[in-house]
Structure formats: structure tokens, C-alpha cells
């Protein structure tokens, strides 16, 4: 599914207490005209929750148990959304790979944050 998924919008400080209908009403300009496979990411003020929405539905909801969502990783969330869940660790790792390529010369099975803190 990841080959065609693409993040086309980002809304920081969104009110994530709203369901899809509430988000669509309040932030309609971000959702209108989206094509299949295009997502908008809504992130709450605390930066620990994100909802991925399409033109007609909320597809995924991610809530971190601790910490904050790295804004650079948001662009990679659709690549690691399998239709049911988001693998945030892999999105974060991809973000770090692009930012610090010399740290990721060989594949690793460690979580991304362990490589980041070297």
C-alpha cells in the first residue's frame, strides 16, 4: 500500500478531539480535492497524537505513549501505514536516515532512536 501513499498536507495544533466529520468541517480546505492515496496529517498541540485523513475518512490514529512526534517523520507516515496501523519507529528511522545518512550505512534491527543517540 505504501507505494502510492503520499502526504500532501500537515495541520499542526489541530483539535484531535474531533472525529472525521468535525475535522472535515473545521479544516475542510485541507481535505477537499484529495485523490486516492493522498493523506493530510493532523497533529495535536502536545505533538503526541496524529490522525491521517483522506478526502472521505480518517484512516489512522497514532498516539505516542511518551515523547513527541518528530515533525520530520510525519512525511514518512504514509509509507509505514499498512491499512491498519502506523509503524512510527520505521518512519522516524527513515527520517533520520535521510538526515544523517552516514549513521545508517548498514541495516540495523535496533530501534531508530538508539542509532540517533550515538
- Angle (CA) 17 43 33, round 5°: 95
Domain positions in the chain are: 6-87
Q: Give residue-wise pLDDT tens across range 75-100.
A: 899 888 888 888 999 999 999 888 88
Residues 11 and 93: their CA atoms lie apart, in Å, by 22
pLDDT of residue 117 exceeding 70, the answer is: no
Residue with cell 505504501: 2
| 1 confidence band (pLDDT: 50, 70, 90) | very low
Burial of 107 (0-12, 13-18, 19+ CB in 10 A): exposed
State the pLDDT at residue 48: 96
- Angle (CA) 31 37 38, round 5°: 35
Q: Give residue-wise pLDDT tens across range 25-62.
A: 999 999 999 998 899 999 999 999 999 998 899 888 99
Is residue 40 a contact partner of residue 30, using CB atoms and an 8 Å limit? yes
| 6 confidence band (pLDDT: 50, 70, 90) | confident
Amino acid at each position: 500500500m505504501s507505494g502510492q501513499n503520499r502526504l500532501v498536507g500537515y495541520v499542526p495544533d489541530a483539535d484531535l478531539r474531533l472525529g472525521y466529520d468535525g475535522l472535515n468541517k473545521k479544516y475542510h480546505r485541507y481535505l477537499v480535492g484529495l485523490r486516492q492515496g493522498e493523506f493530510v496529517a493532523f497533529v495535536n498541540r502536545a505533538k503526541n497524537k496524529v490522525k491521517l485523513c483522506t478526502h472521505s475518512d480518517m484512516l489512522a490514529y497514532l498516539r505516542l505513549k511518551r515523547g513527541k512526534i518528530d515533525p520530520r517523520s510525519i512525511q514518512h507516515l504514509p509509507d509505514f501505514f499498512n491499512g491498519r496501523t502506523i509503524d512510527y519507529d520505521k518512519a522516524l528511522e527513515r527520517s533520520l536516515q535521510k538526515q544523517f545518512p552516514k549513521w545508517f550505512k548498514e541495516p540495523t534491527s535496533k530501534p531508530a532512536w538508539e542509532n540517533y543517540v550515538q
